[in-house]
Amino acid sequence: MRHILLFAFIFQILPSLAEIQAGNPLTAAADQRIAPVLDKVVAWRRDIHEHPELSNREFRTSALVAEHLQSLGLEVTTGVAHTGVVGILRGQADQPVVALRADMDALPVSEQVDLPFASRAMGLYQGKEVGVMHACGHDNHVAILMGAAEVLAGMREQIPGTIKFIFQPAEEGPPEGEEGGASMMIEQGVLEDVDAIFGLHVGPLPLGMITYRPGQFMASADRFHIVVNGSQTHGAMPWAGIDPVVVGSQIVLGLQTIASRQVDVTLTPSIVTVGRFSAGVRNNIIPDSAELEGTIRTFDEGVRQQIHDRIRRTAASIAESAGATATVTIDRGPPVTANNEALTARMAPTLKRVAMDNMAVESDRITTAEDFGDYQQVIPGLFFFLGVADPDQKAPAPNHSPYFYADERALPVGVRAMTHLALDYLAGP
């Protein structure tokens, strides 16, 4: 029944004869190739969903991708940035070169969705065995790009340029002590000779909708770690020591004044969130130390540095006032995901054409982050969101939730979006 609905959905998104005659003939030819590969796209998505892998550990997924790209006759490189895979499809000419990117890693989340292909996988995360799930939807990204590769490989004699397919590990961040993700892919040369790059992300938007934004789209994301050192004592005699739990609590509150009182809120949004507070082993012992971890989200490099400085000052000053000390470590993460404005304006008609019912709209800024921004710091790039919410689900779960669910009827829209973007770009303005 699901496949019947899926194919019915295809007929809703495929172009009319008038649209075919008015548009790029290559995209019209690509549309005719989508339906025959859709069963494979669905099967790949379900297989990857059932067998998720954590960052820098995408061994099974990368092997599946590499085997498929090799079967299409692409030039394939494996082991890029640990487990990344790059496939090159050469058309009628070496230039221009466009890149399409999909991320492959899953999250340390135990799936709660009732699916026949639900994940039961376990993995090691920060020394602990955890459930693993594609709670961010990267399984859809991989399957969509594998499908786009097959569609485009069947048209290689017609393609006026070169297409590079980038399957990236560790978008969610490499394990502690390791390198990985987009920055490492770039260091190892994946953007060599590439003129522009496109990427997508699924999310709980209306089914088939596409959202995008010229300029700043998604926030930068930095991680901070604060260790408060006090002096251990009996819980009944707090005056005999220095309580790092109370000091840490004051730091949590103090950090909230940075975004609300110390940064110009009219300039750009910013967020400082404490996500972990850990201290002590027993109810009646005041411990030696407490640990805080959190995230910083900004859209401006100057504000980003201001917040880093103010976190250090706030933590140190509050700790000093109580006779404690605070050590602050800040790890810079992905930069702002900023869509090239000229490229976005050029490709917006493509997005409107492929979205269901022409539902391609400009978005507000989003405070989640994506290391796709690393690519955009080197070459022009366009990143967009694809709606995968089940219309019958009243309150779709967000990404990173154990209840996150992606409606497979969005898969053909994704395949169509990636193929059309590549072909329209290569065809020229």
Residue 17: per-residue pLDDT = 40
Residue 3: per-residue pLDDT = 52
Q: b/e for 160-180, b at 16 or more Cβ within 10 A?
A: ebbbbbbbbbbbbbbeeeeeb
Residue 16: per-residue pLDDT = 47
Task: Tell the burial category of 319 from Cβ atoms under 10 Å away from its Cβ (0-12, 13-18, 19+).
Answer: buried
CA 156-159-164 angle, to 5 degrees, is: 80
Between CA 138 and CA 231 the distance in angstroms is: 45
Is there a single domain that holds both residue 211 and residue 243?
A: no
- Helix %, strand %, coil % for the chain, to 5? 40, 25, 35
CB 345 within 8 A of CB 424: no
Residue 85 lies in domain: 2-218+336-427
Looking at residue 90, the DSSP 8-state letter turns out to be: E
Q: Which residues, including other chains, have CB under 8 Å from residue 396's CB and lie 6 or more apart?
A: 204, 389, 390, 405
Helix (H) or strand (E) holding 296: strand 289-298
CB 49 within 8 A of CB 134: yes
End-to-end CA distance of the chain: give it in Å, rounded.
Answer: 41
Is there a single domain that holds both residue 231 and residue 133?
A: no
Closest CA to 83 of 198, 181, 194, 193: 181
Closest CA to 44 of 166, 139, 133: 139
Between CA 22 and CA 373 the distance in angstroms is: 34
Residue 176: per-residue pLDDT = 87
* Overall size of the chain counted in residues: 429
Is there a single domain that holds both residue 44 and residue 69?
A: yes
HSE-up of 67 (CA within 13 Å, CB side)? 7
- Which of these three, 268, 302, 331, is where a domain ends? 331
Is there a single domain that holds both residue 325 and residue 351?
A: no
CA 157-159-165 angle, to 5 degrees, is: 110
Is there a single domain that holds both residue 272 and residue 386?
A: no
Residue 393: per-residue pLDDT = 87
Residue 21: per-residue pLDDT = 40
Does residue 153 sit in helix, strand or coil?
A: helix
Is there a single domain that holds both residue 214 and residue 246?
A: no
- Which of these three, 288, 303, 331, is where a domain ends? 331
**What CATH number should be reported for the domain holding residue 206?**
3.40.630.10
Is there a single domain that holds both residue 87 and residue 175?
A: yes
Residue 309: per-residue pLDDT = 98
Q: How far is CA 370 from CA 72, 92, 245, 319, in A?
A: 29, 33, 33, 33
Ranges in the chain, pLDDT < 50: 1, 4, 11, 16-21
- Which of these three, 331, 348, 369, is where a domain ends? 331
**Residues linked to residue 401 through DSSP beta bridges, in sequence order:** none
**What CATH number should be reported for the domain holding residue 305?**
3.30.70.360
Is there a single domain that holds both residue 210 and residue 233?
A: no
> Number of folded domains in the chain?
2
Closest CA to 194 of 103, 102, 100: 100
Residue 1: per-residue pLDDT = 47
Residue 211: per-residue pLDDT = 98
Is there a single domain that holds both residue 93 and residue 198?
A: yes
